[in-house]
Amino acid sequence: MSVGRSGFGDLRFDWIGLLFACLLTLFIALPLIVVGTWAFTEVWRYPSVIPQQFGLRFWGQTLARGDVWDALFLSLRLTTTVTILSAVICLPAAYAFARMRFPGRNILFLSFLASHAFPKFGLLVAIAGIFLQLGLISTFWGVVLIQLVGTLMLMIWIPVAAFQNVDRRMEEAARDAGATPLRVFWSITLPQAAPTISAALLLTFVGTFYETEGAWLIGAPQVRTMPVLMISFINNQIVVQYGAVLSVMLWVPSFIALIFARRVIGTGAFARGFGA
């Protein structure tokens, strides 16, 4: 059995792809392994390659801190508020962008990329100057507004693609059968777009939970989310295990989100949304 020149080329390409995949996995996984190891380490002294003693002592000490629980509940409350407001504000706008034609539509649509097209910290500093004049610095709603800005692209672009991919023939058939526009939207449009909209909501929730720059610049020192608290532990050189434990705690929402995305949203949600 002979293998042609193209076969050898394909085989070589497969091995190169596998090599890059392994390197990328190692690049991503190695820091996670190190942080996870620190979270369950009690003694790890140089030059030892592996910890001398494992244990849960620092978990108990970290979870006994009142500021950790305050930061966790604040992060959850903040993230839930931002996600709900983003859905209420952005989903109607996404539907309008998907179905309506009006002057300046394309310019407005592309404007939602502005928060990601320029250096984020510079944009946040400019917004912070405005918030300072409005008395929103170090307030819960100030952080909500600054994080809401960061959700616009996800909550506009992804739902727009979902609404554009809805089968118009089903909508027209329902209208011909006498259904009202609201009934058509509720029974035909929304069920088809719902998986991809759920994906956008999920990404918004997770991204807001981990957002750090805006929460730190606008919220400090009164509003301290979990990421901001973790950074303060690291900057103040508090026991390294405290920061590692908080890092592991921050992974939990992502893990739950991935399970939700896999079982509820389904693997085809993004394909259906971006297929427009």
3-state per-residue secondary structure call for 32-86: HHHHHHHHCEEECCCCCCCCCEECCHHHHHHHCCHHHHHHHHHHHHHHHHHHHHH
- Spatial separation of the C-alpha atoms in residues 139 and 102, rounded to whole Å: 37
Q: Is the separation of the CB atoms in 202 and 122 below 8 Å?
A: no
Q: What's residue 145's pLDDT?
A: 93
Residue type, 258: L
pLDDT tens-digit readout, 81-128: 999 999 999 888 888 888 888 787 777 777 777 666 677 777 788 888
Single pTM value for the model: 0.78
Residue 271 pLDDT more than 60? Answer: no
Q: Which of 76-85, 93-102, 213-222 tops mean pLDDT? A: 76-85
Q: Is the pLDDT of residue 39 over 80?
A: yes
- Paired strand residues for 270: none
Give per-residue pLDDT as tens, 223-243.
Answer: 889 988 888 877 766 677 888
Residue 1 has pLDDT above 50, yes or no: no
Q: What is the pLDDT of residue 191?
A: 85
